[in-house]
């Protein structure tokens, strides 16, 4: 069987293949890493024009991680995929409440989704933190409501919910607000793997810069 089996070689070769698709975008080194990891995670170069990184987002995310900020996710798959070993070097943890009993109760009582209820319960814990929404438009809508109506102020919102019901609208709203730096992907595409790719790209930047 003739295929590359070395993880570092696989990663390097993948980044080489993606590089030409980023030509002409004038991305800096850090933006290139985030674009590349998202495109790699989707196996889809058509992501290139959809990715939007707010000019302050990467610095805000790095600063937050360096001071030990936590990451709050909408679904367990995003929590699972985030590189917690690297995050923990800086003191941060990853939290997800979507499967908790109090979240389910709150969601049922209010006839909202569990991932929306989970964000509302996090509430002030989101101040200064990183929010990573990979799946549920309703979670992102709720975070944006907390920002707008309750003065909650995350350090950065990585919002890439997926699908045909609300995802594109929630991400438009994210990109149109100007209070919180963000990373997003416009349109219907996205998902847990994309949220994880963006978060881990930032973690790797910090981990490498420490070595």
Binding site for a second copy (CB under 8 A): 1, 3-7, 10, 13-14, 17-18, 40-44, 46, 76-77, 79-81, 111-114, 116, 137-138, 141, 145, 162-167, 169-170, 187-193, 196
What's the min distance (Å) between Cβ of 78 and a second copy? 9
54 is catalytic: no
Q: In what order do the strands lie in the sheet with 94-96?
A: 51-53, 182-185, 156-159, 130-133, 71-73, 94-96
Q: Among residues 67 and 151, whose Cβ is nearest to a second copy?
A: 151
Q: Among residues 64 and 147, whose Cβ is nearest to a second copy?
A: 147
What's the min distance (Å) between Cβ of 58 and a second copy? 23
Q: Give the alpha-carbon dihedral of 70, 178, 63, 53, to 10 degrees.
A: 100
One of 33, 37, 40, 62 is an active-site residue; which one? 40
Q: What is the distance of C-alpha 156 from the center of its chain? A: 9
What's the min distance (Å) between Cβ of 93 and a second copy? 17
Separation of alpha carbons 65 and 92, rounded Å: 7
Of 167, 149, 147, 166, residue with least CA distance to 157: 147
Q: Which residues are catalytic?
A: 40
């Amino acid at each position: 069987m003739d295929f590359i089996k070395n993880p570092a070689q696989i990663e390097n070769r993948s980044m080489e293949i993606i590089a030409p698709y980023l030509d002409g975008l004038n991305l800096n080194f850090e933006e290139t890493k985030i674009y590349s990891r998202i495109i790699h995670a989707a196996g889809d170069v058509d992501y290139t024009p959809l990715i939007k990184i707010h000019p302050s987002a990467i610095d805000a995310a790095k600063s937050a991680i360096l001071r030990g900020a936590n990451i709050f996710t909408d679904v367990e798959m995003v929590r699972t995929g985030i590189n917690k070993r690297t995050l923990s070097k800086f003191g941060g943890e990853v939290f997800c409440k979507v499967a908790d009993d109090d979240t389910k109760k709150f969601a049922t009582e209010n006839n909202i989704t569990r991932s929306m209820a989970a964000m509302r319960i996090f509430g002030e814990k989101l101040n200064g933190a990183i929010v990573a929404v990979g799946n549920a438009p309703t979670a992102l809508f709720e975070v944006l409501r907390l920002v707008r109506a309750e003065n909650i102020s995350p350090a950065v919102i990585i919002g890439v919910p997926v699908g045909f019901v609300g995802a594109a609208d929630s991400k438009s709203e994210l990109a149109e607000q100007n209070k919180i730096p963000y990373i997003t992907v416009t349109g219907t595409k996205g998902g847990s793997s994309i949220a994880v790719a963006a978060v881990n790209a930032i973690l790797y930047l910090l981990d490498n810069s420490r070595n």
